[in-house]
Amino acid sequence: MASEGETQTAGEYIVHHLQNLTFGRHPDGTWGFAHGAEEAANMGFMAIHVDTMFWSVFLGVIFCWLFRKVAKNIEAGVPGKLQNFVETIVEFVDNNVRDAYHGDSKLIAPLALTIFCWVFLMNLMDLVPVDWIPGLVHLAGVEYQKVVPTTDVNATMGMALTVFVLILGYSLKMKGVGGFVGELAGQPFAAKSLVGKILATPINLILEGVALLAKPVSLGLRLFGNLYAGELIFILIALLGIWQLPLHFGWAVFHLLVITLQAFIFMMLTVVYLSQASEHH
């Protein structure tokens, strides 16, 4: 990457670092990796961002392995530092779930813990210097490598749509089809007469439908936008050469707060949305 970076313009350097390693079908019918943004775009919807898939699964496995290890070796006496750390996270998530979720589902707390830790680990990859891992894989012949899965809108929207499916599932389970549809059609403009209900129902469906669809969109785009902007700033700082170190350190310290906050916000919004879906009106 270093030798290649010497011949790249600033614009080419930025575009290269923001390009995913994409695998898909070329227009000529062959399958393979894209050699640029144009080739990746021509592969269409079914193309796969291999780097996003790899790093998200890899970090998820690390989370599961670490927490399982602590759970298997848990001690009732004086716990070790790792056990203290894990117990602190579990207690933190559990307290927030108890405050925000008013149902009795046993899925919510484990889901919230998984979301918080997994999103945090994916965000944390943003603190790895932007040339380190791409430089290493470039030696192996891999042209592109984005190591922060949450800077890929496909990953963040995929998680957001999964939450949206859970919202619909909880709404139908707790309220039934009639209750869920009635909730969408009966507010915010409530009417007692038949004529009033007929007039208010289309407006209510539009307003509540937009509000419902806005949940996954805002959930996914908020996380993507914040991490993408942070990654872009790291790339711009890297263009400064030897002057990048103090700026990189300062932005990394500030960004540590951002990546933690974004993981917490994604978790809390998920819990709040599922709590709303579980409530009877």
Catalytic site positions: 218, 222, 226
DSSP 202-263: HHHHHHHHHHHHHHHHHHHHHHHHHHHHHHHHHHHHHTTGGGHHHHHHHHHHHHHHHHHHHH
> Which amino acid, residue 162?
T
Cα-flanking dihedrals φ and ψ of residue 33, to 5°?
Answer: -90, 145
Tell me which residue of 275, 280, 96 sits closest to 174, measured CA to CA. Answer: 280
Tokens of 161: 């749509």
Quickly tell me which residue has 């059609």 as its tokens: 185
Which residues make Cβ contacts (< 8 Å) with residue 117, sequence separation at least 6? 63, 67, 89, 263
